[in-house]
Amino acid sequence: MAKLTLSTEGKIVDEIRIEKDCMTIGRKKENDIQIDSMSVSGQHAKIVMIEDHAFIQDLGSTNGTFVNAEKITQAHLDDGDVITLGTYSLKYVAESEESGKKLNGSGYSGASDQTQAHLEIIDAPDNQPKIIPITSKMVTLGKPGTQVAAITQRHDDFYFVHVDGGEEDAPSMVNNEPVDSKRQLKDHDVIEVAGVKMEFRTA
């Protein structure tokens, strides 16, 4: 199980296990991780877990959220990454064999030799890619701050996971039905994320 090590001014003050798929961080008591500091917003950020992968997302905080000193809206976390919120830091420690697989700019992690699949974008403009190969155990879809979802693979099965619905908390769609958590995918299922429709294909 992954964990976060909370520190300030170089001193470790707490260690938090990530025991939920989504954990909020902020100054208010209703957060899963409360940091009682005026440098931290009431609801500052949240950690989202998808299988063995962790994401950090800023929730419109005043002072911003940083990962390894780089300001982010949303970012994939690797083992050892340091999240900074105001005067506090959270070190992400992944306790999984999957840790250390870093997503590249296209949203893919390391290659997999398992059953492969792809997405065919429906009504894609002529100058845009129409095929998105699924060549890893997880691929993220959508746009941070608007809507984000992911496709994960377990053995020969694929799952569609809703990550974030943006300010309007919009659900991701599969076959015109809202998905607010996770759903197993079948060949020819139609996915819609952030206004883009894609057909899931295994052949």
- Tens of pLDDT, residue by residue over 75-127, are 888 899 999 999 999 999 987 544 444 433 333 334 344 557 899 988 766 65
Q: Which residues sit opposite 75 in a β-bridge?
A: 56
Mean pLDDT, range 8-28, rounded to an integer: 91
pLDDT of residue 24: 92
Whether pTM exceeds 0.85:
no
pLDDT of residue 85: 96
Mean pLDDT, range 1-18, rounded to an integer: 92
pLDDT of residue 137: 74
pLDDT of residue 115: 57
pLDDT of residue 128: 63
Rounded-to-integer distance, Cα 184 and Cα 154, Å: 10
**Percent of the chain residues topping a pLDDT of 90:** 39
pLDDT band at 161 (very low <50, low <70, confident <90, very high): confident
For the chain, the DSSP string reads --EEEEEETTEEEEEEE--SSEEEEESSTTSSEE---TTS-TT-EEEEEETTEEEEEE-S-SS-EEETTEEESEEEE-TT-EEEETTEEEEEE--STTTT----TTSB-SB--S--EEEEETT--TTS--EEEE-BSEEEEEETTTEEEEEEEETTEEEEEEEE-TTTTPPEEETTEEESSEEE--TT-EEEETTEEEEEE--
* pLDDT tens digit sequence for 32-69: 999 999 999 999 998 888 767 788 888 889 999 999 99
Rounded-to-integer distance, Cα 49 and Cα 52, Å: 7
* pLDDT tens digit sequence for 126-160: 656 688 888 777 788 887 667 888 888 877 889 89
Q: What b/e string do you get for 27-50 counting C-beta neighbours within 10 Å, with b at 16 or more? A: beeebebebeeeebbebbbbbbbb
Q: Which amino acid is at 193?
A: V
For 143, other C-beta atoms within 10 Å of its C-beta total: 15
Considering only the C-alpha atoms of the chain, give the largest distance between any 2 of them, rounded to a whole number of Å. Answer: 55
Q: Return the higher-pLDDT residue of 19 and 83.
A: 83
pLDDT of residue 126: 63
Distances (CA, A) of 123 to 129, 185, 195: 11, 21, 11
